[in-house]
Amino acid sequence: MLNFQTAINDQKNFSEIKLNEISPIRKLILRGKSREFLSAVGKTINILLPTEPNTSSSNGEITIIWLSPDEWIIFSNSIDNQDFNQIEEKLVQNICKTKLGAVIDVTDQFVMINLTGNKIFDLFQKGSPFNFNEFRNKKGATTQTLLAKIDVIIQNKDQNDINVFVRRSFSRHLYSWMSDSASRL
């Protein structure tokens, strides 16, 4: 049997902040431009793709983050969600096969790190030029920015509960930087 190995395999608890890799979480990139694409996706997954820049929407099962006018990332809200396979199959069937757009499996492209605690934005301030003043109070807000010089997608999941998506090859470096910085907050 092949063994599954998480990217970071670590958990850090500091007094004001907790870092945790959430894995395995299935993730897909959706690409498409047309109105038909948007409605086909909506029908397939029972949730509309967010069209307002830097926002996300979710239902009980999945969350969708707007990435660009023709690009979204969809991910499962729960670990090791077998139902997600059906979602993927249906999307491939209704989007790729109908030539409406593209569906790409990026489950292992991105590592999802969850941060909780009341000093998350103090941590971000140490390595990201992004202005989080409004973001921090807006549930569902997302951004694509740099953190410690690394490309990240950040989602405001809830008050003091933030998801960071980072490319797997960068994840250990980012995690190490975040832990180092968080240790002095």
Partner 1 sequence: MSTNSRLKTSKFIDETSRISFKFNNKTYYGFKGDTLASALLANDVHLVGRSFKYHRPRGIMTAGSEEPNAIVQINDGTAVTEPNVRATEVEIYEGLEASSQNCWPSVNFDIGGINNLLSPLLPAGFYYKTFMWPASFWEKYEYFIRKSAGLGKSPTQPDPDIYEHQYIHCDVLVIGAGISGIMAAKTAAKNGLKTLLVDEKPILGGNTIYKDNEDTSINNQTPSKWISDQINELEKLDNLEIKKRTSVAAYHGYNYLLARENLTDHLPIHERKNKIRQRLLKIRAKKVITSTGALERPLVFNNNDRPGILLASALKRYSDLFGVACGKKNVLFTNNDSAYETALSFINKGIKIEAIIDIRENPNSKLVKKIEENQIKIFKGYTVVDTSGYKRINKVSIMQLSKDGQKVVGNKIEIPCDCLGMSGGWTPAVHLFTQSGGKLSFREEDQVFIPKIYTSKQISLGSCNGDFSLDSIIKNIPGQLKQFFEINSTEFDNLDIESNEDLSKRNIWLLPSDKIFGKTKPFVDYQNDATAKDIKLALREGFRSIEHVKRYTTTGMGTDQGKLGNMHALGIIADTAGVKMGELGTTTFRPPYTPLTFGTIVGRNVGEYFDIFRKTPMHDWHEQNKAEFENVGQWKRAWYYPKNNENMHQAVQRESKAARDSAGILDASTLGKIDIQGTDASEFLNRVYTNAWSKLAIGKCRYGLMLNEDGMVYDDGVTTRLDENHYIMTTTTGGAANVLGKLEDYLQTEWPELDVYLTSVTDHYATASVCGPNSKKILQKIIPDLDLSDDNFPHMSFKNAKIDGVKCRIMRISFTGEHSYEINIPASYGKSLWEKCMEAGKEYNITPYGTETMHLLRAEKGFIIVGQDTDATLTPIDLQMDWIVSKKKYDFIGKRSLYRSDTIKEDRKQLVGLLTDDPNEVLEEGAQIVADANKKPIEMLGHVTSSYYSPNLNKSIALGVVRGGKKMLGQKLIIPMENKNINVTVSDPVFLDKENKRLNA
Residue numbers at the binding site for partner 1 (CB under 8 A): 1-7, 23-24, 29, 31-32, 70, 96, 99, 101-102, 104-110, 125-133, 148-150, 167-170, 172-173, 176-177, 180-181, 183-184
Q: How far is the CB of 60 from partner 1 (least distance, A)?
A: 25
Q: How far is the CB of 139 from partner 1 (least distance, A)?
A: 20
Longest C-alpha distance within the chain, in Å? Answer: 52
Matching residue, tokens 């809830």:
158
| Smaller CB separation from partner 1, 12 or 168 | 168
C-alpha 25/C-alpha 41 separation (Å) is 20
| Smaller CB separation from partner 1, 12 or 31 | 31
List the one residue out of 102, 99, 94 whose CA is nearest residue 73: 102
Q: Which amino acid is at 160?
A: N
Q: How far is the CB of 56 from partner 1 (least distance, A)?
A: 19
| Smaller CB separation from partner 1, 8 or 115 | 8
Q: How far is the CB of 155 from partner 1 (least distance, A)?
A: 19
- Residue 166 pairs in a beta bridge with 111, 152
| Smaller CB separation from partner 1, 59 or 159 | 159
User: Under a CB-based contact definition with an 8 Å cutoff, are residues 34 and 90 in contact?
Assistant: no
C-alpha 25 chain-centroid distance? 10
